[in-house]
């Protein structure tokens, strides 16, 4: 029986969080409407951070689970599966939410590009790092 590679999932999650911290820390001034060091106390609240971390982990876990269930796909097929999940599920959902919240074009593009980078990280690492197999049965 195939098992999910928990090490790969955790490495991808930590890498996505680190990229998110760097992405937010290097936000261009035009997206913030202020200088980065000016009024630095306006960080997201803990509630927003926790919800973001949980939603990112659930999305990653679902994709890893789906890759495990679709065993007949090659690694390239799993790569495209992760990309198509983002294109067909995440992208339309994001577009509807950004229209509903009336986000500007720059803000939407900035957030969407971060989401695409997260998807690319997941699409490259998860298919390539298969779970190690044990000679002992569980």
d(CA 15, CA 116): 14
Enumerate the domain spans of the chain.
52-130
What's residue 41's pLDDT? 47
Taking only the tens place, the pLDDT of each residue in 56-100 is 999 999 999 988 888 778 889 989 999 999 899 888 888 888 888
pLDDT digits (tens, 9 = 90+) for 107-136: 778 888 888 999 999 999 988 887 666 555
Q: What is the pLDDT of residue 32?
A: 58
Give CA torsion, residues 22, 26, 32, 37, to 10 deg: 110
Cα gap 25→5, rounded to integer Å: 30
């Amino acid at each position: 029986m195939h098992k999910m590679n928990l090490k790969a999932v955790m490495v991808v999650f930590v890498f996505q969080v680190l990229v998110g911290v760097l992405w937010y820390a290097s936000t261009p001034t035009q997206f913030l409407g202020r200088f980065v060091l000016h009024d630095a106390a306006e960080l997201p609240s803990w509630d927003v951070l926790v919800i973001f971390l949980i939603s990112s982990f659930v999305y990653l876990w679902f994709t890893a689970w789906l890759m495990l269930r679709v065993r007949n796909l090659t690694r390239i097929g799993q790569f495209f599966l992760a990309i198509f999940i983002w294109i067909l599920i995440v992208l339309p959902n994001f577009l509807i939410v950004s229209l509903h919240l009336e986000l500007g074009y720059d803000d939407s593009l900035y957030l969407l590009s971060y989401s695409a980078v997260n998807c690319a990280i997941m699409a490259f690492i998860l298919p390539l790092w298969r779970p190690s197999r044990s000679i002992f049965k569980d």
